[in-house]
């Protein structure tokens, strides 16, 4: 894990003492080119050969994906995702994306058949079924060593508009 | 420089246009003092450096960060108020990146 800058590490040691009284909402409008620059910077050893995001109107995001999958070989799909409701702790820890389109005839039965193997391969906190992809935000933050951030996040929500993914984050300490 | 950071600098933050922050940020005195010491130490290490002066005359270097004045011109600052609390500084702000 990369070392955090000292002020940030100090905040995380005791958020209430160092930033208690903070209540701020951040809207990050991430343009399509920027998003794909982030995805292009993924580690070179991932089995994903192509990974592109194309946010569009109506809160829908297209994910262009090409992977080397076991048994079936090289698979290329354009999957459409709809970001779900806001994450808020502790009641709603999942950041969910419903898969609304893009799977071909046999994709769903294969995914259902291989559900256990898929779950074993995914990092803890990431869940993929034939209907949705969801991320357990506290589990992901904890495995990254940032569990003290979890109670500070009062709202985390993703929405899509043409060529932009909007991340809304409300932090309160 | 990380490719993502370089992309933001090269495109003048165009891909974050419309982003905004609104609310109150509270910072403890201890954190502020830590920042002041970090700043002073960074100035000292810069001034004490034996590095040749000439490279400073190469502002177009790919490693250089954007001019702070140019960065500020990208911001719409609607609110920026400082107030002090008990052992803390509070900043009320509403700032966005111009679309």
- 3-class DSSP state of B80: strand
Give all strands of the β-sheet with B88-97 in edge-to-edge order: A153-161, A164-172, A23-31, B20-28, B88-97, B75-85
Which residue segment(s) compose the domain that A139 sits in? 23-172
Give the per-residue pLDDT at B58: 47
Give the per-residue pLDDT at B61: 47
Q: Which tokens hold the place of B71?
A: 């960065």
**Domain contains A13:** no
Give the distance, in angstroms, between the CA of residue B3 and the centroid of all CA atoms in the same chain: 19
Is residue A128 a contact partner of residue A63, using CB atoms and an 8 Å limit?
Answer: no
Give the per-residue pLDDT at B51: 53
Q: Which chain B residues touch A if contact means CB-CB below 8 Å?
A: 2-4, 7-8, 11, 14-28, 30-31, 34-35, 38, 85, 88, 90, 93, 97
- 3-class DSSP state of A109: helix
Rounded percentage of chain B residues whose pLDDT exceeds 70 = 81
**Which sequence spans correspond to the domains of chain B?**
1-37+64-99
Which residue of B4, B79, B87, B98 is the best one to mutate when testing the A interface, meaning the one whose CB has the most A CBs within 10 A?
B4
Residues 6+ apart with CB under 8 A from A139: A93, A124, A125
Tens-level pLDDT at each residue, chain A (173 residues):
556 777 788 888 888 899 999 999 999 999 999 999 988 888 777 778 889 999 999 999 999 988 877 677 888 989 999 999 999 888 899 999 999 998 887 788 888 887 887 788 788 899 988 899 999 999 999 988 888 889 999 999 999 999 999 999 999 99
Closest-CA residue of B relative to A34 is: B15
Whether B87 has a pLDDT exceeding 60, the answer reads yes
Identify which of A24, A34, A170 has the shortest CB distance to residue B15.
A34
For B14-37, write each residue's pLDDT tens digit: 999 999 999 999 999 999 998 888
Tell me whether A10 touches chain B (CB under 8 Å): yes
The burial of B28, by beta-carbon neighbours within 10 Å (0-12 exposed, 13-18 middle, 19 or more buried), is given as: buried
CB atoms within 10 A of CB A32: 17
**Domain contains A116:** yes
φ/ψ bin of B87: left (φ > 0), alpha (ψ from -120 to 50), beta (otherwise): left
The kind and range of the H/E element at B53 are none
Give the distance, in angstroms, between the CA of residue B84 and the centroid of all CA atoms in the same chain: 22
**ipTM summary value:** 0.79
Whether B60 has a pLDDT exceeding 60, the answer reads no
Total structural domains in chain A?
1
Chain A residues inside the 8 Å CB shell of B8: 34
């Amino acid at each position: 894990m990369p070392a955090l800058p000292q002020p940030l590490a100090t905040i995380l040691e005791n958020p209430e003492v160092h930033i208690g009284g903070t209540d701020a909402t951040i809207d990050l409008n991430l343009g399509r080119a920027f998003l794909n620059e982030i995805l292009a910077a993924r580690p070179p050893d991932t089995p994903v050969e192509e990974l592109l995001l194309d946010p569009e109107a109506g809160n829908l995001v297209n994910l262009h994906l090409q992977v080397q999958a076991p048994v079936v070989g090289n698979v290329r799909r354009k999957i459409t995702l709809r970001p779900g409701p806001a994450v808020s702790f502790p009641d709603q820890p999942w950041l969910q994306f419903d898969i609304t389109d893009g799977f071909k005839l046999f994709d769903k039965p294969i995914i259902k058949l291989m559900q256990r193997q898929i779950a074993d391969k995914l990092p803890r906190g990431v869940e993929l079924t034939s209907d949705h992809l969801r991320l357990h935000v506290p589990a992901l933050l904890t495995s990254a060593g940032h569990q003290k951030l979890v109670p500070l996040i009062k709202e985390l929500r993703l929405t899509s508009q043409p060529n932009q993914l909007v991340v809304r984050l409300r932090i309160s300490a | 420089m990380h490719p993502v950071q370089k992309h933001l600098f090269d495109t003048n933050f165009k891909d974050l246009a419309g982003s905004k922050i609104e609310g109150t940020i509270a910072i403890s005195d201890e954190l502020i003092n830590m920042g002041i010491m970090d700043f002073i130490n960074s100035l000292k290490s810069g001034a004490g450096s034996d590095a040749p002066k000439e490279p400073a005359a190469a502002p177009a270097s790919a490693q250089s960060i954007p001019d702070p004045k140019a960065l500020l011109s990208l911001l719409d600052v609607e609110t920026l108020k400082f107030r002090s609390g008990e052992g803390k500084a509070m900043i009320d702000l509403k700032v966005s990146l111009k679309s």
